[in-house]
Amino acid sequence: MRTSSVWDLVKYYMTPIESLFDIEGVTEISVNRFDEIYIERFDKKEKPDTRFDDEEAVATLIHQIAVALGQTVNKDSHPVLDARLTDGTRVCGVLHPTSTRGSCISFRLFPKKRITGDYLVEHQTLTEEMLEFLKLSVVCRSNILVSGSTGSGKTTLLNVLSGFIPKEERVLIVEDTKELQVFAKNLVSLEAPTRRKQGDSQAVDLAFLIKTSLRKNPDRIIVGEIRDTKAATAFLHAINTGHSACSTIHANNPEDSLLRIQTLVAGEGALPFDVVKSQVRSNLDIIVHVELTPHQGRRVTSVSEIADGVTKELWTWSYRKAHHVTKSKESEIYRKAEKFCL
């Protein structure tokens, strides 16, 4: 079958939700089961008036996307489809009975317009002062970790921060599934194939690509997300050997993000926990925590600095007052900036 015909079938089976992709502000489409569909739009969840005919229709859509992408899915041994469409949309489908209420599928869309720092300030995600501080941190080659839950805006913020990287730098991007939109002139983007196809390439995981990036003379390494022990260990090795790097991690607060990396690396068993803790706190400079708040939308709820192994919060979000609060105006970043003549 011709490639165009394969994707024509995908489009046909996607008919019940096709119009949702064109609604302004939609970033997520979630089909929980054939008759239960939600979208996320402008940081809020909505239930559109549409549905698939039956369970088989959702399962067929998952199968057809897998065929178009050259992947294998079946309800017995490969019930999960985790992939990226040709336009960059991230898709995750799970077949029944693994998805107990019926086959489900979700789509995470790229924003149609590039989100900028000014946009985040305008929407109160952070203040202009915080943005300028983070910009200075990037220019000063600080190692930055963005933490938060799923859908909190970690990748969006990392995209914005990447825009502050000086144009003359060579940038290496490493991801499980391509989501970052970095517009550097001297750019190499690596995607681990283990999350998008089965086969002999299983060994080429995120950790392998982080190690590979170190051999490509990077000025800056951006890791999409740290998920497991091997990736955390490779990331720590990168920043522990003088490379400037940024990444994201799932965590409930800044301290949890540090503890999670420390626990992941220590889980490999090569180093004692105290040694890992010391290395993490000696090499990470800035932690930015983001949250999707119930009534206030996406917010940077904390910006913290690690200096001499101690975490100090510089800004926090006040839920009661609904605005950002400055905790400290002193930072090693300002002293570091003097070395860069900034």
Residue type, 68: A
Q: Report cis status (omega within 30 of 0) of the bond before 97.
A: yes
Over residues 181-190, the pLDDT tens digits come to: 898 999 999 9
Over residues 216-229, the pLDDT tens digits come to: 999 999 999 999 99
Residue type, 53: D
Q: pTM for the full model?
A: 0.85
CA angle 220, 267, 247 (to 5 degrees): 20
How far apart CA 282 and CA 277 sit, in angstroms, is 8
In DSSP terms, which residues pair with 108 in a beta bridge?
28, 90
Contact by Cβ (8 Å): 133, 314: yes
331: confidence class by pLDDT, cuts 50, 70, 90:
very high
Pairing of strands 220-223, 244-250: parallel
The pLDDT mean for the chain works out to 92
Over residues 69-118, the pLDDT tens digits come to: 999 999 999 999 998 888 889 999 999 999 999 999 999 998 778 889 99
Is the model's pLDDT at 1 over the cut of 50?
no
Rounded to an integer, the average pLDDT of 117-131 is 96
How far apart CA 107 and CA 88 sit, in angstroms, is 10
Domains in the chain with CATH codes: 3-108 (3.30.450.90), 117-339 (3.40.50.300)
**Nearest-CA neighbor of 305 among 164, 143, 148?**
143
How far apart CA 272 and CA 86 sit, in angstroms, is 44
